Amino acid sequence: MEIIRVFYSYAHEDERLRRKLETHLGLLQQQGLIVGWHDRNISAGTEWAQEISDHLNTAQIILLLVSASFLASKYCYSREMMQALERHENGSARVIPIILRPVDWKDAPFGKLQVLPTGAIPITGRGWHNSDDHV
């Protein structure tokens, strides 16, 4: 079975939640089913924009970790999200938006995609007593 490459697209303001999600997916990594990648894996001296683009172009699953910070980030929005959606449209990757924090996202380019959590309730929003239960 081929290992599935997962790309985390997120704003650095949401790094704590990205780490938490990564922890929840840890068993899949331990079992050799997935390998995750995010920009904090870039080594010193590496051309970071090219490294991000390379990983975006090879990931089979791209997780958009959606928040106001994500949508306000020019790089996340214009580069990562648009490249991810292009790959989704041509069938070379699956894009999964995950709503982290309350934000008006429905008119965003990914608004036509099914989001997580079910019901599009942000994992940090009201109704979630423990985000560990829903990540």
- What does the buried/exposed string (b/e) look like for 17-48 if buried means 16 or more CB atoms within 10 Å of the residue's CB? bbebbbeebeeeeeeeebebbbbeebeeeeee
pLDDT per residue of the chain (135 residues) written in tens, 0 to 9: 789 999 999 999 999 999 999 999 999 999 999 999 999 989 899 899 999 999 999 999 999 999 999 999 999 999 999 999 999 999 999 999 999 999 999 999 999 999 999 888 898 875 544 545 555
- Structurally, the chain folds into a number of domains equal to 1
- Full domain range(s) for residue 92: 4-133
Global pTM reads 0.90
Tell me the per-residue pLDDT of 9-24, one tens digit each, with 9 for 90 and over. 999 999 999 999 999 9
Residue 103 confidence (pLDDT):
94
CATH code (residue 44)? 3.40.50.10140
